[in-house]
Amino acid sequence: MRLILLGPPGAGKGTQAERLVERHEIVQLSTGDMLRAAVAAGTEIGLKAKAIMDRGELVPDDVVVGIVADRIEKSDAQKGFILDGFPRTVRQAEALDAMLTQKGLKLDAAVELRVDESILLARIEKRAGETPGGPRADDNAEALKKRLAVYREQTAPLADYFRSKGLLRTVDGMAPVDRVTEEIDRALGVGNEAAGG
């Protein structure tokens, strides 16, 4: 299975991706996690990305596309993957299309987690308080405001992009976590057997 999770910061992409990984034995490819790892390791990409991420802006398309292109070549991604936080622009979506076409692969679905923006600050603040080793540098009210503006402007249009390809599945991300997981399974046409009962 090859999936995309779409949704604004705090929508629950990472939370649901972790569950999909367990249930469908596919890998989670989170560009946010990969970039944070690069920042922590002090790589060239990390050094470039840090200030951009801290401000809540997007890292340049070519950097992120390069990271994903390398990652989906790895053996653990061959059975399938869930892209969490990628693509985030139409250019990234087109680059992904080109990558998959070249490999003769297709996406199964793009799952959009729809949430009211008004609850996102509370979710981000809660996570900031629970993150081992301290909060992410962008988990604060000011950076969230920017992240949301960027999402609305550059990422939300991807819903139409995937809808036009017949791939969009929209799920209510306001429901409790377990309920969202069930709705995702339903949207993907996956039965209870994937949940182990």
Non-local CB neighbours of 67 within 8 Å, separated by 6+ positions:
31, 34, 35, 45
Residue 35 lies near ligand AP5 (rule: CB under 6 A): yes
Beta carbon nearer to ligand AP5, 38 or 188: 38
88 is annotated as an active-site residue? yes
Of the residues 126, 152, 165, 186, which one makes contact with ligand AP5 according to CB under 6 A: 126
50 is annotated as an active-site residue? no
Catalytic residue chosen out of the listed positions 48, 127, 146, 163 = 127
d(Cα 139, Cα 155) in Å, to the nearest integer?
Answer: 19
Q: Dig out the tokens for 5 from the structure.
A: 């999770």
How many of the other CB atoms lie within 10 Å of CB of 181?
20
Residue 64 lies near ligand AP5 (rule: CB under 6 A): yes
136 is annotated as an active-site residue? yes
Give 164: exposed, middle or buried? Use CB within 10 Å, 0-12, 13-18, 19+: exposed
Catalytic annotation, residues:
13, 88, 127, 136, 147
Interface residues toward ligand AP5, by CB under 6 A: 7, 9-15, 31-32, 35, 52-53, 56-59, 64, 85-86, 88, 92, 123, 126-127, 138, 147, 173, 176-177, 180
